Amino acid sequence: MNAQLKDITTPPAAMTFENGIKHPDLWLWDSWTCQIGKQLNLYCLAMPRIDVRGEAILPEHRNNHRFHVRRFASDDNGATWTDLGAVQTPSQLEDRSDSRNVWSGSVTQLCDGRVLYGFTGIMECEDGRPFIQSICVGSADSIDDEINIQSTSISSSLFQYDEIIAAGYYLGPKQTLGDGLGEEGGPILAWRDPFAIQDAAGVIHLYWSAKVGPDRPAIARATLEERDNGFQVKTLFPPVCLPDSELVTQAEVPKVYPLGDTGSYLLVISACDSRYEGQPVDEITKVQRFYISEDLNGPWRSYSTDGSLVPGCEFLFGGSVTQYNADRHSVNFIAPYTEMANDDVQLSFGPIIEIPLR
């Protein structure tokens, strides 16, 4: 393995973060949340700002290093945050699906009290293919028992390649799967960022980022079932194509939230129009898009008559809903700043903002 990909995690910071999270030692990006009682838990990808040789790691070079999943907690609805340290690191799965890296996912408390963890495994490959992705799921008895998460790969772009193609999804040629320069003229492989939600009947629905063409984004959807060897895919459904998907090339870190007792659901997408890995950041637009449906199966429509683009989220990406406000029909939203933001805030979290659902 490349020496630069050595695991680097840091102990929890001995400070309280206010009005967002600007970590003194870490770059932070992407997010997912889990509310348990009065505690709001925020998870994100994290990586030190300094490498093992003491040299600065630039945000645009972070894919040359190994990440970890970081957990922060708040008892005041996100006004302040405490750093609880690393939750997951790469190279934990027997099939080596995460041997290179671990990417974004979700944390969901199930109706029986257990906690379900979803994440993306990135497999080590010796021939220059750094983005071979797998959907991985694990569970623990409680949110504070994260050292004992029992995880497995449930859908690998490599090992389930034929099954994925048969279900209507696009994966690039198998011999170049996960290529660092993208797929047949489009951006890199998309089989990542699983997000779980359990419905009132106890069925676990899993959504993740996928494609139906080299530069045509989609959302993958499956239901899960528990077997002797852990949670597995029960049914992989056909791709979910969003109504304005022609505007973007990637629909990343999808999340689905119930909107209180309205009977509706909110789909949150972090969308970008990048064409290839390594494209200059000033050529790429990253935005937040919202969609609404009355059914977890869809179809989805833009959340506003003005479209799906969410205003007021400039330089925010990988955001999460922390609360639905029924009296104002709005959501509280937290997101990290992208590397396109100014140096003072890039790859750190801004404060929670309120977004009306018009």
| Residue 126's pLDDT band (cuts 50, 70, 90) | confident
pLDDT recorded at residue 128: 77
pLDDT recorded at residue 147: 79
* Portion of the chain with pLDDT greater than 90, in percent: 88
Going by DSSP bridges, is the β-strand pair 301-302/320-325 parallel, antiparallel, or unpaired? Answer: unpaired
| Residue 152's pLDDT band (cuts 50, 70, 90) | very high
pLDDT recorded at residue 5: 52
The structural domains of the chain, with segments of one domain joined by +, span: 4-356
pLDDT recorded at residue 198: 98
Upstream peptide bond of 194 is cis (omega within 30 degrees of 0): no
Query: DSSP 3-state helix, strand, coil percentages of the chain (rounded to 5)?
Result: 10, 45, 45
> Of the candidates 303, 308, 341, which has an alpha carbon nearest to the alpha carbon of residue 324?
303
Q: Is the pLDDT of residue 148 over 90?
A: no
Confidence (pTM): 0.96
Q: Is the pLDDT of residue 179 over 50?
A: yes
Domain spanning 4-356: CATH superfamily:
Glycosyl hydrolase domain; family 43 (2.115.10.20)
pLDDT recorded at residue 313: 96
What ranges make up the beta strands (E) of the chain?
16-18, 26-36, 39-48, 68-74, 80-88, 101-109, 115-123, 132-140, 150-156, 192-198, 204-213, 216-227, 230-236, 250-258, 265-272, 286-293, 301-302, 320-325, 330-334, 353-356
pLDDT recorded at residue 1: 35
Give per-residue pLDDT as tens, 25-72. Answer: 999 999 999 999 999 999 999 999 998 889 999 998 999 899 999 999
Give per-residue pLDDT as tens, 217-260. Answer: 999 999 999 999 899 999 999 999 999 999 999 999 999 999 99
The side-by-side arrangement of strands in the sheet containing 320-325 is 320-325, 330-334, 353-356
Phi, psi torsion values for 166, nearest 5 degrees: -65, -25
Residue 37 and residue 143 in contact, taking contact as beta carbons nearer than 8 Å: no
Largest CA distance in the chain: 55
Determine the average pLDDT of the residues in 283-306: 96
Q: Is the pLDDT of residue 278 over 90?
A: no
Dig out the tokens for 159 from the structure.
């090992």
